[in-house]
Amino acid sequence: METVNLIDTFSEFKELKNIDRATMMTVLEDVFRGLLVKRFETDENFDVIINIDKGDFEIWRNREVVEDDNLEDPNLQITLSEAKKIDEDYEVGEEVTDEVKLGDFGRRAILSLRQNLTSRILDLEKNNLYGKYKERIGEIVTGEVYQVWKREILVLDDEGNELILPKSEQIPSDYFRKGDTIRAVVIKVEMKNNNPLIILSRTSPIFLERLFELEVPEIFDGLITIKKIVRVPGERAKVAVESYDERIDPVGACVGMKGSRIHGIVRELKNENIDVINFTTNSQLFIQRSLSPAKISSIKIKEDNKEAEVYLQPTEVSLAIGKGGLNIRLASQLTGYEIDVYREGIAEDEEDVNLEEFADEIESWIIDELKAIGCDTAKSVLDLSIEDLVKRTDLEEETIQEVIKVLKAEFE
């Protein structure tokens, strides 16, 4: 019965994925030879024949024929009288080959062999899976959502391998149910408790880069290079691109006719706004482009500490800063400069007061919060609604109302 179980186990292994035929044969033979060494102390005079297609095997032992009274090692030698029982033509000095039946090893040995075989093959499969996905780090994979938990999603690839998409690597607006098809990039592969742990991500800039490669042939072919990507997943991303061929407009190629190419990427990223920017080594021009859609009046750059003072018309300030300061934050990350926004264009006869003038009435941390969203004067604050100020800053509505009360009093 144990022999049948072993054959069944062995037969299953020929169907296993991720293991090439030569490796499988080597492991199987190694396991059987280990059993022979345990039983006979050597495996040198044995031939192990494995038929991986049929899922079975044979073990043959080679022994030298000796005189009946000269037998020293029954594993390496066979007496002449025993040899003649097999074939009358055998003579002393010849070699006898006979099959060793698995049943001869005993039930316990067969059970041990079966467990060893199972363990070795499964370890091999795990190592091969680890190696396969280690080489695929940075690639997009498509899988099916198998289980949704609070902190992660279990995804199965097309071969049934288990992949993990943690909550932290999901776009905030992602919502998946069992059976959904999902696309993500492999960002980390490690062995945990002797099992390969394959981590996916949809928030990594690499995921956005690979989506561009899929949608834009010029990027895939190397005609357009992605220089840098910064993003706040699900909200906004900025992508700096460059072409080495003057005939190719990198921004136009990435966006496509009427946005045809970028539309699919935006949809995959749950309507994430994507700004494609033409890369340049000219720092002023690059900063100007990175603050799109705002129009810059002038820029002063301090190369020593990588700071840039950007001056804009009052109407452009909110565009440059963006919702919650997102636009200016991403522009800073993309260019590598700390960008400060200043308003200009206020007529000399137009009355306005710098927020610093209210330091006695408004706490400094509140003034800093307002300046962080581009409001450095009283009128720049009063131009915005209370709702806008609540959304853009971390200030409470009551605090904002008090600030507005103080500022309005200045002009009354």
- Alpha carbons within 13 angstroms on the beta-carbon side of residue 267 total 7
Q: Which residues, at least 6 apart from 372, have a Cβ–Cβ distance to it below 8 Å?
A: 325, 393
| pLDDT at position 3 | 45
Q: Which two tokens stand for residue 391?
A: 């959304």
- What does the pLDDT look like over 125-182, one tens digit per residue? 888 889 999 999 999 999 999 999 999 999 999 988 999 999 999 999 999 999 999 9
**CA–CA gap between residue 185 and residue 202 (Å, rounded):** 6
Question: pTM of the full predicted structure?
Answer: 0.67
CB 286 within 8 A of CB 335: yes
pLDDT above 50 (res 404): yes
CA 144 distance to own-chain centroid: 16
- What does the pLDDT look like over 385-398, one tens digit per residue? 888 888 888 888 89
- What does the pLDDT look like over 70-99, one tens digit per residue? 888 888 888 888 888 888 888 888 888 888
Mean pLDDT of the chain: 85
